[in-house]
Structure 1
C-alpha cells in the first residue's frame, strides 16, 4: 500500500499562483480614437468660433424658449396618452380573431407606419379642412346644435399636430401592445378560461398585467422619440421649441447658438422621460 506524501499532492503545500487576466487592447485603442476625434472636433469648433456662449446663456432660460419647451413637452405627453389608447384599441382588434377588425387594424398600422410623420401632419393641417370644410354636430331629432364652425377654425396648428402625432404613434404602440399580448403564455389563458373567467376579466387580470412588463420599456423609448418628433410640428406653424428657436435666429442670425439652446432643452426632456421610464420599469419589473 502506497501512502501519498505532501509533495505528491499539488494542492498541499503548493505556492499560490497569481491570476493574470488577459489584456484586451482593442476597446482601449478604439476609446482613444474616439477621444481623439472629439478633441479634434472641439478644437475645430473653438478655432472657428462657431458658438458664442454669451448668446447661449442669454437665451437658455428666456421666456420664449421656455414656453416652446413646455409646449413641446405637453404636446408629446398628451400625444403619448392618446396614442396608447388608440394603440390598445388597434391591438385588441388585431388579436380579436374577427377578420374585418383584423384587416382594419392591419391597414391602419400599415398606412400610419409606412408614411412619414411630417406628411401626416401637413395632411391634417392642410388637406383635412378642405375635405370637410364645416364641422356641424347636433343632437338628433332636436334643434340643439353642439358645434357649428369652420373646420379651419377647429384644426389649429396645435390640434393638427396632436392628431397627427397621436395617430402616427398609435400605429407603433399598437404593435408594441400586440407583441406584449402575444408574449403571455397560452397556458395561462387556457387555465383562466377553465375556471370560468370571461374574456374581459382574462385581459384585465391575466394578460394586461403581464404584458405591461414587456410594453413599458418599449413605450418609454417611443415617448422619447415622440418628444423629439414634436419638432416636426414647426412645419405647420405650431409654436414648439424648434419653431420658436427658428424664429429667434431668423431675426438675430445666431443660428448655432439657438440650435444649441434647443438641443439642450430636448436633452432635458429626454432625461425626464428616461427617469419616468426607469420608475415605471421598477413598478413593472420584467421578472
Structure 2
C-alpha cells in the first residue's frame, strides 16, 4: 500500500490499484490553552511588580543608590564575605573529621561525633552565637588558672571570634552529614583497589575516595555556602558590623530604614548570585569525567 502526502497536512492512503483506501486525514497542532494562560498571568504579575517598584515613591530609590557603594556598606560586605569564607573552610575541615569519626568502628570515637551532631544540629544557631558571645559569664578564665597559660575569656571571645565559632561549629555539623553521604557514595571496590596497590588508608582517602566523593559533596555544600552568607546576618545581634548591621547603623542616623534594608538586599542578591554561578561551574567541571564515561559506555553497548 502506498502513501501520498498532500499539502496542508493531508495524508492519503492508496490501495495497490491506485484507488483510495481510507478517507483523508488532516493533522492539526495540539492546542495548549493552559500554557498561554499561565504565561500571561506570570507576565502580568511581573509587570505589576515592576510597575509598583518604579512608581512607589516610598521605596526612595535615590537614597538606595546613593548608599549602595557607601564605604561603611562596602566594609560590612567585606566582613560578611570574610565570615562566609573562613567559616566554610573551618566547617569543611571539621565536618570531614566528624564524618570520618562517625564512620569509625570505635564506639567511643563514633559516640563523640554523634553527640556533637546531636548538640549542634539540635539547637538554633542564634542561641549558639549568644552562648559563645557570653562565654565569659561561664568561664572567666580560659586555660590553667594561676599559670601563664591562662587568658581572660572577655579578651579571647570578641564579637568576631564569637561569630566565627558560632557559625563555623554549627555549620560543621551539617557539613559532616553531607561529607559522610559523599564518602558512602564511593564504591567499596575503589578502597580495596587502593589497598591492593599498597596505599595507606590516609593516602587512599586523599587520592582515591575524596576526589570521587566531591561530585556528590559539592552541590549541597554550595547550597550551604550560600546559606552561610545569609546566616552571617545573625551576628548583628552581637553588634558585629557586617552588611546588615552596617545598614542598620546608617538607618539609625538618617531614619531611612526601608532604603537601607533594600541596600543590604541588593548586595545579598548580588553575592548569592555570584556564588551560584561559581557552584555551577564547579559542578560542571567535576561532572566531566562522569559524562565522558557515560558516553563511552553507551558507545560500547551499541557496538556489542
TM band (smaller chain)? 0.7 to 0.9
Of 275, 280, 283, which aligns to 1:281?
283
Structure 2: 5+ residue stretches without partners: 10-26, 291-304
Change (3 A) 1:16 1:247: same
Q: Which residue of 1 aligns with 2:184?
A: 182
Superimposed CA distance per residue, residues 226-278 of structure 1 (whole angstroms, 9 cap, x where no aligned partner): 01110000011100000011111122121111011101111121122123223
Change (3 A) 1:80 1:27: farther
1:168-247 aligned at under 5 Å gives the runs 168-247=170-249
SS of the counterpart of 1:197? coil
Change (3 A) 1:24 1:187: farther
**Aligned counterparts of 2:159 and 2:33: Cα–Cα separation in 1:** 54
Within a 5 Å distance, the mapping from 1:119-158 to structure 2 comes to 119-126=127-134, 128-136=135-143, 145=148, 148-158=150-160
Distance in 1, matches of 2:208 and 2:228, equals: 29
Deviations 1:92-147 (A, max 9, x none): 10112221121211221122122111111111101x22222113469xxxx993x5
Deviates more, 1:117-126 or 1:265-274: 265-274
Measured after TM superposition, the shift of residue 154 of structure 1 is: 1.3
**CA shift digits 1:44-84 (9 cap, x unpaired):** 45554221111011100011000000110011111000100
Which stretch of structure 1 is more off in the superposition, 62-71 or 38-47? Answer: 38-47
1:77-92 matches, within 5 Å, as: 77-92=85-100
Cα distance in 2, alignment partners of residues 244 and 178 from structure 1: 37
**Match of residue 9 from structure 1:** 2
What is the root-mean-square deviation in Å for CA atoms of aligned residues?
2.4
| Count of residue correspondences | 272
Deviations 1:161-197 (A, max 9, x none): 0001101111111011000000011222233334443
When normalised by structure 2's length, the TM-score is 0.82
Structure 1 portions without partners, runs of 5+: 1-7
Q: Distance in 1 between matches of 2:101 and 2:8?
A: 65
202 and 251 in structure 1: CA distance in 2 versus 1, 3 angstrom threshold: same
The aligned runs of 1:3-82 (5 Å cut-off) are 8-10=1-3, 13-15=4-6, 18=9, 21-45=29-53, 48-82=56-90
User: SS where residue 238 of structure 1 aligns?
Assistant: coil
* Larger CA Rg, structure 1 vs 2: 2
| TM superposition score normalised by structure 1 | 0.86
> How far apart, in 2, do the equivalents of 1:137 and 1:272 lie?
46
The answer to which of 16-25 and 165-174 deviates more is: 16-25
